């Protein structure tokens, strides 16, 4: 099983991202755009795990986030990895608040205690919106347009989800295996 832990983007923030992707998809950029059902902020990629490990993962995640209060997640802009001009991935970034860093750290520690690898990179909350197709690059006009976009809609981080990812030729499918609610703010 290929697993990861994430926060789903909900409400007006998800609608804003869907509208943004729709506008740019219509421009015919050489990008494979992500569907709205995949709008999430990955907290921890676990990779391959045996099915009998799921119960222990669920227990660890419940302990890591169950006592944390829900909190707002504010947009911080658009960009690309490694840069927008040389983007392989286009994303929407969200502000890193101390409480979000704490949540990510607690999830990381809980998963490492189960034998999963340490990520080693700082938590950089973002939503992948598209992947530039192999052998292509964004035009300078596209880079300028993407970098000039502003996002306005925040959303509440009120749960963490354990997902299973199914890799398929037509694109990945994510199945929610378990949801871990956070305390109401």
Residue 123: strand, helix, or coil: coil
Phi, psi of 89 (to 5 degrees): -130, 135
Cis bond before residue 82 (omega within 30° of 0): yes
Predicted local confidence at residue 185, as pLDDT: 58
Q: Using CA atoms, how far apart are residues 108 and 183, in angstroms rounded to an integer?
A: 20
Inter-residue contact 96 to 123 (CB < 8 Å)? yes
The pLDDT > 70 percentage for the chain reads 99
Average pLDDT value for residue range 132-151? 95
Which residue, chain included where needed, has tokens 């391959």? 48
Q: Output the six-digit token pair for 90.
A: 């286009």
Average pLDDT value for residue range 147-160? 94
Confidence of residue 108 (pLDDT cuts 50, 70, 90): very high
Average pLDDT value for residue range 102-108? 94
Q: Is 20 exposed, middle or buried (0-12, 13-18, 19+ CB in 10 A)?
A: middle
Contacts of 154 (CB under 8 A, 6+ apart): 13, 72, 73, 74, 75
Gyration radius of the chain over CA positions: 17
Average pLDDT value for residue range 63-67? 91
């Amino acid at each position: 099983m290929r697993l990861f832990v994430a926060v789903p983007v909900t409400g007006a923030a998800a609608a804003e991202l869907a509208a943004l992707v729709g506008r740019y998809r219509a421009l015919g950029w050489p990008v494979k755009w992500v569907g709205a059902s995949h709008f999430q902020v990955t907290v921890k990629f676990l990779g391959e795990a045996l099915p009998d490990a799921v119960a222990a993962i669920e227990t660890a995640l419940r302990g890591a986030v169950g006592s944390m209060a829900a909190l707002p997640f504010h947009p911080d802009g658009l960009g690309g990895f490694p840069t927008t001009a040389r983007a392989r991935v286009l994303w929407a970034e969200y502000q890193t608040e101390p409480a979000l860093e704490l949540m990510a750290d607690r999830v990381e520690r809980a998963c490492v205690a189960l034998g999963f690898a340490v990520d080693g990179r700082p938590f950089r909350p973002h939503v992948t919106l598209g992947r530039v197709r192999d052998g292509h690059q964004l035009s300078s006009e596209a880079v300028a347009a993407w970098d000039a976009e502003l996002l306005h809609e925040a959303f509440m981080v009120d749960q963490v989800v354990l997902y299973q990812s199914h890799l398929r030729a037509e694109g990945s499918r994510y199945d929610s295996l378990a949801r871990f609610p956070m305390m109401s703010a």
